[in-house]
Structure 1
Amino acid sequence: MDKAFLENLLAFDARPDSVQLRKRSFELLEAGPGRRVADVGCGAGTAVAELAAAGADAVGVDAAEEAVAFARERHPGLRFELGDAAKLPFPDESLDGYRAEKLYHALDDPGGACAEAHRVLAPGGRIVLLGQDWDLFVIDSDDPALTRTIMTAAADELPHGRVARHYRALLLDTGFTDVSCEVHTPVLDPALAMFVVNRLATGAVRTGAVSQAEADGWLAEQRGRAERDRLFVALPLFLAAGRRPVTPS
């Protein structure tokens, strides 16, 4: 996780729709004064800072040393720890809230991470998962078939590129109750949209799904759209929430 990626993450986090979606996730988390909450896969630490500002006893956890260092630099005085989503540095039943955003698609075992969330949550504690399905980007293009091939290849390259559509089932299978699921679809601004299409094309070439020439042609079309103010990239984000039962289910 390099600094350029973290800077792009900050740009996405600063969007008004991203701010509103985080607020919605905090509502579902029932975050508030004195609530012990962890943001797992905390990245640059934006959500941790906002949770702390709302009075929560918040801690960020990330497996990337660069992310933890970056978050500590941006938010001195807040808690950020290096840790694995499959083995969190918290005792059993020690948290009131667990939040993971744009994380589970990168994990080898999302089910194991969800079980770990269940372990660290106290009875009645809340879990919130937020993230994109990498096979469901909405991209306007003159070549829909090639666009679909590129998106599918990018999703296939990730450990679990389609896990977001499975969030609801994952929470239910892990034993959470009061499970809900929402879908929010922001339209990306040109700079972020080009960052996304470049990343998708690069991944598709890396997997061998398309040639470099095909990717270059597709990207040239997307750049032309951007120059004419015709670029369109939308990103469905899935927001699922649940509660650890007070009594065994």
Structure 2
Amino acid sequence: MSTTNTSTDTDTDTDTGALVALLDLIDNYPGAVALRARSIELLAAPPGPVIVDVGCGAGRAVAELTEQGWDALGIDLDEQMITIARRRRPDGRFEKADAAELPLADHSVHGYRAEKVFHDLADPTAALTEAHRVLTPGGCIVLLGQDWDGFFIDSDHPALTRTIVHARADTVAAPRAARRYRNLLLGTGFTDVQVEVHTGVFTDQTLLPMLTGIAHAAAAAGAITPGQAAAWIGDQARRGQTGRGFVAIPLFVAHADRR
């Protein structure tokens, strides 16, 4: 596998590179490390069986699963993400596929994990039906993600902040999928569904790229003006620089059994 930088000047490559950089930043945060460990613990499978990580991105969770003794397979629909994952983790297994059409036989995996994925799926039910198909009886599914209406951001302009958060949420395929995890799992045949909530709190500049992104998305959607976006981003940057920022993001972790 080539170790050269595969980025080009296309918009798609730039967007993917920015996303990977942001995910790397967040994934190294102590709370994120602990949450991945918790998700692996909830899979409750002994080392050895196949675990599929759907929406694997750059492959960090796949590497951690493999290190702990599982036969981990990373799946992502984004070919550039798969390329990055293979370059970073040449010993890992990665395949390009749709969450609703997994390249796996019936009852062939013992664990299914998906992190920050279901909000991007137009039909989460189809993906969970597919998860139910590939999981062996007794297998476990673990879903992690945030509700895109549920970002709590301190600001001197709360009405503007609400507008920005909701406008960004409206650009997502299924922005409220995380609050629906329990009912989605029950509706597709899973049992013993449990949901945990883990809240990440950020007071520095860690999430400034994300805050910048949601403000720009709100402006692009016409919900706010570019000037309002710039002023809001400037306020959040100043808060972060002085340790006076406050962003809280509840992350929902749902796990269930396949009977």
Q: TM-score normalised to the size of structure 1?
A: 0.95
Aligned pairs (5 A) from 1:93-242: 93-188=107-202, 190-242=204-256
Do structure 1's residue 19 and structure 2's residue 33 form an aligned pair? yes
Do the aligned residues in 2 keep the contact of 1:96 with 1:126 (CA within 8 Å)?
A: yes
> Structure 1 residue 126: deviation in Å?
0.5
> Structure 1 residue 211: deviation in Å?
1.3
Match for 1:140: what amino acid?
D
> Structure 1 residue 189: deviation in Å?
5.7
Would you identify which runs of 4 or more consecutive aligned residues in structure 1 move more than 3 Å? none
Do the aligned residues in 1 keep the contact of 2:193 with 2:254 (CA within 8 Å)?
A: yes
* CA distance in structure 2 between the aligned counterparts of 1:189 and 1:65, rounded to whole angstroms: 34
Match for 1:88: what amino acid?
L
SS of the equivalent of 2:137 reads strand
Match for 1:9: what amino acid?
L
Equivalent pairs, count = 245
Deviation per CA, 1:142-163: give whole Å up to 9, x if none: 0111101110111111001111
Match for 1:47: what amino acid?
A
- Cα RMSD of the aligned pairs, angstroms, is 1.1
Q: 2:101 aligns with which of 87, 95, 107?
A: 87
Match for 2:206: what amino acid?
L
> Structure 1 residue 188: deviation in Å?
2.7
* CA distance in structure 1 between the aligned counterparts of 2:40 and 2:113, rounded to whole angstroms: 9
* CA distance in structure 2 between the aligned counterparts of 1:77 and 1:97, rounded to whole angstroms: 20
Aligned pairs (5 A) from 1:20-99: 20-99=34-113
Deviation per CA, 1:205-228: give whole Å up to 9, x if none: 121111112111211211221232
Q: TM-score normalised to the size of structure 2?
A: 0.92
Do the aligned residues in 2 keep the contact of 1:43 with 1:71 (CA within 8 Å)?
A: yes
| Same amino acid, percent of matched pairs | 52
